[in-house]
Amino acid sequence: MALPVRQQLTYWGIASAAFLVLLWALGDVILPFIMGGAIAYFLDPVADRLEKMGLSRVLATVVIFVFLLGVVILSLLVIIPLLIQQTNDLIQSAPELFNQLRAWLTERFPAVMEDGSPLRQSLVAVGETIQSRGGELLQQVLSSAAGVVNLLVLLVVVPVVAFYMLLDWDRLVATIDALLPRDHADTVRDLAGQIDRTLASFIRGQGTVCLILGTFYAVALMIVGLQFGLVVGLIAGLLTFIPYVGALVGGALSVGLALFQFWGEWWSILAVAAIFQIGQMVEGNVLTPKLVGSSVGLHPVWLIFALSAFGTLFGFVGLLVAVPIAAAIGVLVRFAINQYRAGLLYRGYSTGADDDHGAP
């Protein structure tokens, strides 16, 4: 006999509250484990594919991590130093860029940019703030002993956790499945499958789209000659998970930088704008339909709210778990709505009676 619904809700509510308290209390302690679990979840289909090709689970896991190690070493030697340099240069040149913008506005709109005007003062303040605060932040990140130690811990612990979780992923799933309440096992499996499909579409699919577009934007902008192309490409790629935001922010930032760098060289400016137009076309017509699909189930507004709420409550750890929790809540809400629409509270006794008699 199943437990009463009210008692079941009490138990599940206590479990959810305990999870949130644990997430808030442990915070940075569980960060490597959450990141390692996310990497293992992301790579599990690759390991399954290698197993189907004849490799053992251990060998498949080793092959994946050897490849990832090569990518990380290449990034540490080539990409990351260049990214840090371009970020620092962009921060240092912010006042000069704002001075050029101020000069252009003064020439075009002298009445708006006269001495003492709010817009002129705002531009000067923004440029100085970006230089001072941005430089301080970058310097603190690079020189802070605690930051270096935390980074080393992440670099060591996260791969180890990810390796063992990927190695035992199927066993972990089977263990959790064996612990499901027997009366609700089928329902839980169905809901878990929907959550998995949503996460697979969004995290694996959208993550791959972000990686492809970020690489395309960075390489194309650097080929065109944009001074901070790598940074702009990275920003645009990271923001691509929110539809249109990555292209709009990256496009506006890159075109703005191109106007200062290539003023008068209109073909270069048009080339920068064309890069984002091409990227948007490829994303909408090829990448998103093929890699993400049309039934992700995560509305952009709901996603932004989840990131904001969990980021505010739980910090960086909250940002990592926001998407999975948002996907789970979305699936559970749709399940609850379907249950409500199938029940008497929605249908009423008269509708139920009519349906029993076959009324249209």
Residue 238 within any structural domain of the chain? no
> Using one digit for the tens of pLDDT, what is the confidence trace for 189-218?
898 888 888 887 777 777 888 888 888 988
| Token pair for 220 | 């194309």
- DSSP tally for the chain: helices H, then strands E: 14, 0
Neighbours of 60 (CB within 10 A): 22
Total tally of structural domains belonging to the chain: 1
pLDDT at 357 > cutoff 50: no
pLDDT at 101 > cutoff 70: no
Give 353's pLDDT tier (boundaries 50, 70, 90): very low
What is the torsional sign of CA 62, 67, 73, 75? Answer: negative
Neighbours of 270 (CB within 10 A): 14
Domain boundaries, position 163:
23-177
DSSP 200: I
- Can you give the pLDDT at residue 36? 87
Give me the chain's average pLDDT, please. 76
Residue 246 within any structural domain of the chain? no
- Can you give the pLDDT at residue 207? 80
Arithmetic mean of pLDDT, 286-294: 71
- Can you give the pLDDT at residue 47? 92
Residue 165 within any structural domain of the chain? yes
Closest alpha carbon to 124 in 151, 105, 148: 105
> Using one digit for the tens of pLDDT, what is the confidence trace for 21-58?
877 777 667 778 888 888 888 889 899 999 999 899 99
Give 66's pLDDT tier (boundaries 50, 70, 90): very high
> Using one digit for the tens of pLDDT, what is the confidence trace for 139-156?
554 454 445 456 666 777
Helical ranges in 109-244 per DSSP H: 118-143, 145-167, 169-178, 185-199, 207-224, 229-238
pTM: 0.64
Give Cβ neighbours of residue 257 (< 8 Å, ≥ 6 apart): 97, 226, 227, 228, 232
> Using one digit for the tens of pLDDT, what is the confidence trace for 127-139?
556 555 555 555 5
Where does residue 250 rank: exposed (0-12), middle (13-18), buried (19+ CB within 10 A)? buried
> Using one digit for the tens of pLDDT, what is the confidence trace for 315-335?
777 777 787 888 888 888 888
CB 92 within 8 A of CB 135: yes
| Token pair for 176 | 């959790």
DSSP 239: G
Residue 135 within any structural domain of the chain? yes
In angstroms, how far is CA 256 from the centroid of its own chain?
25
| Token pair for 212 | 């492809």
- Can you give the pLDDT at residue 139? 55
Residue 89 within any structural domain of the chain? yes
Location of structure tokens 């200062």? 260
pLDDT at 356 > cutoff 60: no
